[in-house]
Structure 1
Amino acid sequence: MMETSKGNTSPLKVQLVYTTNIQDPNVYSEVQEQRESPAPPKTSAAAQLDELMAHLSEMQATVAVKADISKRHLPDKQDHEASLDSMLGGLEQELQDLGIATVPKGHCASCRKPIAGKMIHALGQSWHPEHFVCTHCKEEIGPSPFFERSGLAYCPKDYHQLFSPRCAYCAAPILDKVLTAMNQTWHPEHFFCSHCGEVFGEEGFHEKDKKPYCRKDFLAMFSPKCGGCNLPVLENYLSAMDNVWHPECFVCGDCFSSFSTGSFFELDGRPFCELHYHHRRGTLCYGCGQPITGRCISAMGHRFHPEHFVCAFCLTQLSKGIFREQNDKTYCQSCFNKLFSL
């Protein structure tokens, strides 16, 4: 941008302002520094321009003195702004009287006044650098990066505090990568097993009572345990005796044979086959060694099927329950007399 005077003077050099508009969330605005170039030999026009600029400097100094004197008598901010506007208007008029055109670069989106010096272009509008501030903390943003939300500018710190998702573990704003799980957001390094503290791998995680667990700890802590080996039951299982079992663990507590018929006997919280169940209960026939499920005869501290309670010599069934004992064997009266009478 260049400003020209109305006379025969050459163009006046003013500082160029470059603005760069980068899409949301960051917009940068920067001012290019003017580089000095070798001065050409002065001509009569240049000498006339130097004289004009010197006169302009004297006018600016005079205006500054007037502004300082006026400031001492301004009762409040409103009067100060009115006086400043008056001085700027007077300076603009004097410059125009000298043939120097004053063309503003635009109007500040904040104060609505013309921009004559450095300018920032952001959010599709122009600003005085000191008026382009964070909506929340009111700190000057200037050419620094910023975030836009609903047409308003925020410094990075306030934007993250106000709008960034927060980690469910540390409650701090998440500035970079965000992990979403269990209807919450997390820093990736803060989403780990609630028991062992290990970060989850490809196998994922399990949830219990709104807490995440790795597979190993979840199974160890919450999976049903086998009634036989007390290890977690993961896949196939049997349900019996108010418990779950690995199929290979549901066996007789004495002979460890599986229950091929699907039936078992329970004793003291353990499963047994029929034979060992009756053996533990003392309900095996002393004669045949098989379980007694119906009527039985108790004699000599043992139990017998009625048909197996016989004379040890003649094998006659002792149906009337009358017998003689010798050497832990039963005899009918006749055989006993024959064998053992003196």
Structure 2
Amino acid sequence: MQNRSSILQAAQQAPEDSGRTPLCGACKKIIRGRYLVALGQSWHPEEFQCSQCKVMLDEGGFFEERGSVFCTKCYDNRYAPNCAKCKKIITGDIMHALKMTYHVQCFMCAACKSPIRNQAFYMEEGEPYCERDYEKMFGTKCHGCDFKIDAGDRFLEALGYSWHDTCFVCAFCQINLEGKTFYSKNDKPLCKGHAFRSRLRGREGGEREVVQRGQELFSEP
């Protein structure tokens, strides 16, 4: 986000008895009496003016662009960007996002409608979302630890769920099953040894066979 006040400048009034006789940056003549100091030079007050409308810039501030100075109105008409959302000129603070410019209040979360400002945001189907609403609406949780899978975390898909690579372990012995043959029972991953033991116990107790064999899975970055 760009603060407009960071590029707005103001000419300083120099006292008449400053003890020096400066040259005017416009007419190059000696200044006697009151003068302005701006852009590293001294100026007759009536000669420090907007390069477009010629209004005096001794009050109200000015903008410098490509070696020329402008009053606020002329600068906005000539250089102020348009908002990518409402298409109107941006005369206040500017929000830069997605290689475009916005009014701060126009670039907001599609869910809670709060301006995003300098906070992190995520895009979904062309709309920006603040981090809180994105996680609430689109975030993926690990089936093993029930914590969210952050961007950049290694994860894998198995048994219809998403898992951190470190959470995809045998439900009995906790051995990591990434890249290994695994089995499942009641949506819980099992290593080969515990799947065999579970199958035997099921047969001895007259249970229906429910142990299924999976495939070797590797996590994704």
TM-score by length of 1: 0.38
Report the structure number with the largest CA radius of gyration. 1
Which residue of structure 2 aligns with residue 190 of structure 1? Answer: 167
Once residues 194 and 157 of structure 1 are traced to their aligned partners in structure 2, the CA distance between those partners, rounded to angstroms, is: 31
The within-5 A match list for 1:300-319 is none
Distance of 1:95 and 1:190 partners within structure 2: 59
Q: For 1:165 and 1:204, how far apart are their aligned partners in 2?
A: 25
Bigger share in strand? 2
Q: Secondary structure at the match of 2:123?
A: strand
1:120 match: 95
Secondary structure of the structure 1 residue equivalent to 2:57: helix
1:136-147 correspondence runs (5 A): 136-147=111-122
Matched, 1:214 2:191: yes
Count the aligned residue pairs.
Answer: 157
The 3-state SS of whatever aligns with 1:52 is coil
CA contact (8 A) 2:122 2:130 kept: yes
- Equivalent positions of 1:15-26 (< 5 A) are none
1:151 aligned to which of 78, 101, 126: 126
1:52 aligned to which of 56, 70, 74: 56
Alignment of 1:204-283 (within 5 A): 204-223=181-200
What is the Cα deviation at residue 185 of structure 1?
A: 1.0
- Equivalent residue for 1:105, pick from 76, 80, 86: 80
C-alpha change, 1:221 and 1:111, in structure 2 (3 Å) is same
Q: Which fold has the larger relative contact order, with Cα–Cα distance below 8 Å and residues 6 or more apart in sequence? A: 2
SS in 1 for 2:119: coil
Distance 1:53 1:43 in 2: 11
Gaps of 5+ in 1: 1-28, 58-93, 226-342
Listed one character per residue, the Cα deviations across residues 237-293 of structure 1 (whole Å, up to 9, x for unaligned) are xxxxxxxxxxxxxxxxxxxxxxxxxxxxxxxxxxxxxxxxxxxxxxxxxxxxxxxxx
Structure (1/2) with the larger helix percentage: 1
162, 176, 181: which one pairs with 2:137? 162
AA at the equivalent of 2:180: E
> In percent, how many aligned pairs have the same letter?
24
Q: For residues 166 and 95 of structure 1, what CA distance do their matches in structure 2 show?
A: 51
- Tell me the amino acid that sits aligned with residue 80 of structure 2: K
Conservation of the 8 A alpha-carbon contact between 2:49 and 2:57: yes
Q: RMSD in angstroms over aligned alpha carbons?
A: 3.8
1:133-173 superposed Cα distances (whole Å, 9 cap, x missing partner): 11112232123332111111112232222123332234443
CA pair 34-115 structure 1, distance change in 2 beyond 3 A:
closer
Amino acid at match of 1:198: I
Q: 1:112 to 1:56 in 2, by over 3 A?
A: same
- Counterpart contact for 1:110–1:131, Cα < 8 Å: yes
Which amino acid in 1 is paired with 2:92?
G
> What pairs up with 1:4-19 in 2 under 5 angstroms?
none
Instruction: Give the secondary-structure state (helix, strand or coil) at the position aligned to 2:101.
Output: strand
With normalisation by structure 2, the TM-score equals 0.55
SS of equivalent to 1:130: coil
Q: Which amino acid in 1 is paired with 2:160?
A: N
Letter in 1 for 2:111: H
